[in-house]
């Protein structure tokens, strides 16, 4: 197998004086910076890092199309090209460009090259950059690499593992191909052990570096969000690996955020307010946002979300929400017990009727006016607080902490503390944490939905191992359903289906949900296909 790896960066001259914040993302990934000259000065240490971020921009929308078409949220329209229909039908032909994983390997190769060259530069110029800056830069490059590998694992079920940079055509067959479980273990080791004594847990606060003592601007805050944060990335890795106590411990510490409680779910984003995370300028709504891939039309940084989802010209309207996915939102019960549907995440929020057809609206609300409809530069969210809460709830469920798991899913920490005063249990018996997150409302209460519980069993009657396992699986199913609504269109729900179907050795947890979106004549054949776990992943020949 041959792989063409390119290391393409443009030297950002504005960095010489640190005078132009906005030009940081003006990296042209089609320009080659010769390996022997890279990294040659401190400015290239920064621009090279941004070069990795620029590579992430090129693949940021890919996982949404690949996972949501193979999941139950999206289906192609009559306008869609054959490549999208192949992905939807779980039958991908050789050379399908959308299914091509090489973009993720570009991120990895750029990260490997950056790490190698950064250490070489530091060794040759030990006093050119402080360790307090150098180490977080390397740490961020490690996380870009880990994120790209995690995406490969979730989409393709395996990945060719590379720790060295590729500077010319290379034979990939000499490198190991890791299966999913082995890959997850390797990524955890990389995050925790790092490279040359630098792990993947250090964070660079860009605004502190460039403008010490100066109030941060929106642009500064955007930079601080471009690299996957170590906590949610590790939390997701631990969840895949079954390290449930580590998920909970790290998740609770992250939500607490040294007393700020910033990443709680509260009435600050009650009902329809949460949708503002996906507006063009998300910086005004940073309470729940953790990481984004930013885009800017004026700097020719675009993705395909609006182009594929909008049916307003000049967009192409290739993809639409499925009936099965939209019906899920209509089956919800309000806090007072009235069945009214998910009014604050369903119609008019995640999707809407527009120009006679159903469209995905979640990402487009700031792109619907005539002066914005053609600007395909909506930011793509990598992690937000809702993800962390659902991860914690899933881990607590596996630890048989059912009341506590349901607190994060349903009514929140606030109601749990009031209902269980004097009988608090881990992890909600921590007075220090609770002082900051006691106004947490939970995923469903935040959008005025009533609590949900596994049917047919009460937590007070789990007197046999069989009943405990039944309750646990039932709560997993509810968490999966919630993920399908909370994270619709965000490349989350299909991966949650895979994780839970693997955990319970029950392919129907995925196959039944996905096959429900297909026409009656095709539904059974898709279900039969997906009852075989090897078909959950994209089969792509790297020789292509």
Q: In this predicted model, which residue has the larger pLDDT, 544 or 124? A: 124
Query: Total structural domains in the chain?
Result: 3
What is the reported pLDDT for 216?
A: 62
Say if residue 15's pLDDT is above 70: no
Does 47 share its domain with 163? yes
**Per-residue pLDDT tens over the stretch 351-375:** 999 999 999 999 988 888 888 888 8
Which of the two residues, 357 and 5, has the higher pLDDT score?
357
Q: What is the pLDDT of residue 32?
A: 30
Q: End of a domain among 165, 197, 218?
A: 218
Is residue 380 a part of any domain in this protein? no
Residue count of the chain: 544
pLDDT at 91 over 60: yes
For the chain, what is the radius of gyration of the CA atoms?
23
Higher-confidence residue of 250 and 208: namely 250
Highest mean pLDDT among 6-15, 96-105, 206-215, 336-345: 96-105
3-state secondary structure 38-66: CCCCHHHHHHHHHHHHHHHHHHCCHHHHH
Q: Are residues 116 and 18 in the same domain?
A: yes
* pLDDT attached to residue 471: 97
Which of 165, 190, 218 is the last residue before a domain boundary? 218
Identify whether 253 is part of a domain: no
Q: What is the distance in angstroms between the CA of the first residue and the CA of the last residue of the chain?
A: 9
Lookup: tokens for 140: 């961020």
Residue 479: inside a domain:
no
pLDDT at position 253: 96
**Cβ within 8 Å of residue 245, ≥6 positions away:** 395, 399
* Residues 142 and 230: beta-carbon distance below 8 Å: no
- Does 306 lie in the same domain as 179? no
Q: CATH no. for residue 147? A: 1.25.40.390
Q: Do 384 and 229 form a contact (C-beta atoms < 8 A)?
A: no
Do 105 and 197 have their domain in common? yes
Which of the residue ranges 203-207, 383-387, 431-435, 477-481 would you say has the lowest mean pLDDT? 203-207
- Residue 326 confidence (pLDDT): 97
pLDDT, tens digit (0-9, with 9 covering 90-100), for 501-540? 999 999 999 999 999 999 999 999 999 999 999 999 999 9
The string of pLDDT tens digits covering residues 44-79 is: 889 899 999 999 999 999 999 999 999 999 999 999
When pLDDT is cut at 50, 70 and 90, the band that residue 339 belongs to is: confident
Residue 304 tokens, joined: 């395909």
CB 231 within 8 A of CB 200: no
Q: Measured between alpha carbons, how far is 362 from 374 in angstroms, rounded to an integer?
A: 16
pLDDT at 99: 96
- Top pLDDT among 170 and 368 is at 368
What is the mean pLDDT of the segment spanning 485-511?
Answer: 98
The mean predicted confidence, pLDDT, of the chain is: 88
Looking at residue 335, its pLDDT comes to 75
Domain-located, residue 273 = no
Last residue of a domain, one of 180, 196, 218: 218
- For 526, the domain range is 505-537
**Between residues 279 and 65, the one the model is more confident about:** 65
Domain membership flag for residue 13: yes
| pLDDT of the residue at 41 | 72
């Amino acid at each position: 197998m041959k792989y063409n790896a390119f290391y393409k960066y443009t030297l950002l001259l504005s960095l010489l004086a640190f005078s132009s914040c906005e030009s940081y993302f003006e990296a042209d990934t089609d320009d080659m910076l010769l390996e022997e000259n890279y990294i040659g000065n401190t400015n290239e240490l920064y621009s090279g890092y941004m070069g990795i971020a620029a590579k992430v921009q090129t693949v940021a929308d890919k996982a949404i199309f690949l996972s949501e078409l193979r999941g139950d949220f999206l289906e192609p329209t009559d306008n869609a090209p054959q490549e999208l229909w192949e992905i939807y039908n779980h039958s991908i032909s050789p050379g399908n460009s959308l299914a091509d994983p090489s973009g993720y390997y570009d991120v990895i190769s750029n990260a490997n090259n950056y790490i190698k060259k950064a250490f070489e530069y530091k060794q040759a110029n030990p006093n050119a950059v402080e360790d307090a800056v150098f180490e977080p830069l390397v740490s961020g490059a490690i996380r870009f690499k880990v994120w790209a590998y995690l995406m490969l694992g979730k989409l393709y079920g395996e990945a060719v593992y590379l720790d060295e940079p590729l500077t010319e055509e290379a034979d990939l067959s000499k490198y190991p191909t890791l299966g999913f479980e082995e890959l997850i273990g390797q990524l955890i080791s990389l995050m925790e052990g790092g490279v040359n004594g630098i792990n993947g847990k250090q964070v660079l606060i860009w605004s502190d570096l460039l403008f010490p003592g100066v109030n941060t601007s929106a642009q500064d805050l955007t930079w601080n969000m471009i690299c996957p944060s170590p906590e949610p990335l590790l939390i997701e890795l631990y969840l895949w690996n079954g390290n449930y106590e580590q998920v909970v411990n790290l998740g609770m510490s992250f939500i607490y955020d040294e007393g700020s409680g910033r990443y709680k779910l509260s009435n600050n984003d009650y009902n329809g307010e949460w949708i503002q995370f996906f507006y063009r300028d998300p910086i005004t709504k940073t309470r729940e946002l953790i990481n984004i891939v930013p885009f800017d039309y004026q700097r020719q940084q675009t993705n395909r979300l609006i182009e594929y989802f909008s049916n307003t010209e000049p967009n192409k309207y290739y993809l639409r929400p499925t009936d099965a996915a939209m019906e899920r939102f209509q089956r919800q019960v309000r806090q007072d017990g009235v069945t009214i549907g998910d009014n604050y995440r369903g119609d008019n929020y995640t999707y809407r009727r527009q120009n006679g057809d159903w469209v995905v609206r979640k990402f487009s609300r700031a792109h619907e006016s005539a002066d914005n409809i053609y600007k395909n530069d909506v930011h793509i969210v990598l992690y937000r607080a809702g993800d962390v809460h659902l991860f914690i709830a899933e881990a607590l469920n596996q630890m048989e902490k059912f009341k506590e798991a349901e607190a994060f899913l349903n009514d929140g920490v606030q109601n749990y503390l009031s209902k269980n005063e004097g009988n608090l249990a881990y992890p909600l018996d921590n007075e220090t944490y609770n002082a900051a997150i006691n106004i947490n409302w939970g995923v469903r209460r935040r959008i005025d939905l009533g609590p949900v519980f596994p049917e047919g069993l009460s937590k007070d009657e789990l007197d046999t191992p069989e009943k405990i396992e039944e309750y646990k699986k039932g709560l997993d199913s509810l968490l999966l359903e919630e993920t399908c609504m909370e994270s619709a269109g965000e490349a989350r729900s299909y991966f949650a289906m895979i994780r839970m179907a693997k955990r319970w050795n029950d392919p129907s947890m995925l196959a039944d949900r996905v096959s429900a979106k297909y026409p009656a004549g095709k539904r059974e054949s898709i279900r039969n296909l997906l009852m075989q776990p090897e078909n959950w992943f994209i089969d792509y020949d790297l020789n292509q």
